[in-house]
């Protein structure tokens, strides 16, 4: 219903801002940045803005609409959403371009650390009768040299069959569709979950206003989020996608890579199986 979607859209923006504030101490990490670097980056960003204003002959009315919109993005708590949808993909590419192992992609705004542990062969927390096609996923976590990574951990989180994330939409149990899977010596796992639905970013907030004003759509393809970690290896943040999703080629968040599209197999009992493992780069 429109009313419950509106309620959850407003809530998810504010929750994502709270989540960000709780987990990251961003200024600490860059406190030794030399002024030359700040100067260079700030000048280039502003330069791109000046070029746009000159080339597009931006008017005062448009400038004032921008000011009002930027103020509202903050009031809606949608800065994490805006930055993760329209900026993070380029940061992620630069951060991981040296890797020889698995492709990764953006984290997005809805990760919560310390999801409940389910073991190497486990079912993600879900409601009784959780809707969606049951999905059995196996694979192995290895290093780039092929060694199985004992004690690797997979953190998995994803939307439900209606496209909503626990802790960011109301009325969903706290850890629904969020789980941690710590692997044994063979680095192997078998995870049971359900297939998520395509996800529409909130349309009733400031990001939605930009999307409507620009004539864009608000959709991301269905996806599973993961963080995969192992001692002595770089943390992998990725998402897995499903073949044939109409938004794989026009994800609003530009986060789909061909290496991250699964090859699921439909079983006779209506469930789906998929084999996909991860290759981590040594630190």
Q: Coil, helix or strand for 277? A: coil
Q: Which residues bind ligand MBD (CB under 6 A)?
A: 81, 84-85, 106, 108-110, 199, 201, 220, 253, 255
Stretch that binds Fe ion, among 21-29, 102-110, 190-198, 246-254 (CB under 5 A): 102-110
73 touches which of Fe ion, ligand MBD, none (CB within 5 to 8 A by kind)?
none
219 touches which of ligand MBD, Fe ion, none (CB within 5 to 8 A by kind)?
none
Measured from the CB of residue 53, what is the shortest distance to ligand MBD in angstroms?
28
Cβ nearer to Fe ion, comparing 126 with 183: 126
Does 108 participate in binding Fe ion (rule CB under 5 A)? yes
Cβ nearer to Fe ion, comparing 191 with 224: 224
Q: How far apart are CA 45 and CA 53, in angstroms?
A: 13
Measured from the CB of residue 240, what is the shortest distance to Fe ion in angstroms?
11
Measured from the CB of residue 168, what is the shortest distance to ligand MBD in angstroms?
9
226 touches which of Fe ion, ligand MBD, none (CB within 5 to 8 A by kind)?
none
Does 80 participate in binding Fe ion (rule CB under 5 A)? no
Cβ nearer to ligand MBD, comparing 126 with 183: 126
- Max CA distance (Å), the chain: 63
Cβ nearer to Fe ion, comparing 108 with 202: 108
Q: How far apart are CA 268 and CA 270, in angstroms?
A: 5
109 touches which of Fe ion, ligand MBD, none (CB within 5 to 8 A by kind)?
ligand MBD
Does 122 participate in binding Fe ion (rule CB under 5 A)? no
Q: Give the H/E segment covering residue 5.
A: helix 2-23
Chain-centroid distance of CA 87 in Å reads 12
Measured from the CB of residue 167, what is the shortest distance to Fe ion in angstroms?
13
Q: Cα angle at 123 between 219 and 182, to 5 degrees?
A: 100
Residue reference for tokens 């040594």:
282
Cβ nearer to Fe ion, comparing 101 with 221: 221
205 touches which of Fe ion, ligand MBD, none (CB within 5 to 8 A by kind)?
none
Measured from the CB of residue 245, what is the shortest distance to ligand MBD in angstroms?
13
178 touches which of Fe ion, ligand MBD, none (CB within 5 to 8 A by kind)?
none
Q: How far apart are CA 28 and CA 255, in angstroms?
A: 28
187 touches which of ligand MBD, Fe ion, none (CB within 5 to 8 A by kind)?
none
The DSSP code sequence of 85-149 is: HHTHHHHHHHHHTT-SS-------S---S-PPB--SEEE----TT--S-EEEEEEEEEETTS-B-
Stretch that binds Fe ion, among 2-10, 79-87, 103-111, 252-260 (CB under 5 A): 103-111
Q: Give the H/E segment covering residue 45.
A: helix 35-56
Determine contact, residues 19/80, Cβ cutoff 8 Å. yes
Q: Give the H/E segment covering residue 182.
A: strand 178-182
148: β partners: 142
Q: How far apart are CA 115 and CA 176, in angstroms?
A: 9
Interacting residues toward Fe ion by CB under 5 A = 108
């Amino acid at each position: 219903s429109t009313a419950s979607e509106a309620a959850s859209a407003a809530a998810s923006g504010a929750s994502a801002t709270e989540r960000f504030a709780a987990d990251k101490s961003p200024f600490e990490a860059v406190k030794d940045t030399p002024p030359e670097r700040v100067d260079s980056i700030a000048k280039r960003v502003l330069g791109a803005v000046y070029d746009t204003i000159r080339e597009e002959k931006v008017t005062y009315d448009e400038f004032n609409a921008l000011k009002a919109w930027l103020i509202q993005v903050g009031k809606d708590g949608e800065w994490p959403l805006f930055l993760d949808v329209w900026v993070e993909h380029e940061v992620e590419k630069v951060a991981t371009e040296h890797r020889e192992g698995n492709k990764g992609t953006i984290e997005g705004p809805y990760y919560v650390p310390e999801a409940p542990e389910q073991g190497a062969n486990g079912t993600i927390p879900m409601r009784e009768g959780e809707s969606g096609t049951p999905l059995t996923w196996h694979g192995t976590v290895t290093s780039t040299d092929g060694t199985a990574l004992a004690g690797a951990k997979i953190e998995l989180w994803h939307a439900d069959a209606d496209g909503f994330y626990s802790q960011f939409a109301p009325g969903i149990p706290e850890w629904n569709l969020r789980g941690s899977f710590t692997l044994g010596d063979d680095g192997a796992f078998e995870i049971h979950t359900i297939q998520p639905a395509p996800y529409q970013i909130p349309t009733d907030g400031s990001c939605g206003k930009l999307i409507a004003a620009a004539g864009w759509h608000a959709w991301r393809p269905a996806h599973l989020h993961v963080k995969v970690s192992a001692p002595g290896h770089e943390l992998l943040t990725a998402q897995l996608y499903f073949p044939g999703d109409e938004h794989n080629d026009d994800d609003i968040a530009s986060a789909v890579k061909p290496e991250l599209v699964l090859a699921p197999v439909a079983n006779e009992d209506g469930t789906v199986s998929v084999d996909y493992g991860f290759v981590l780069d040594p630190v």
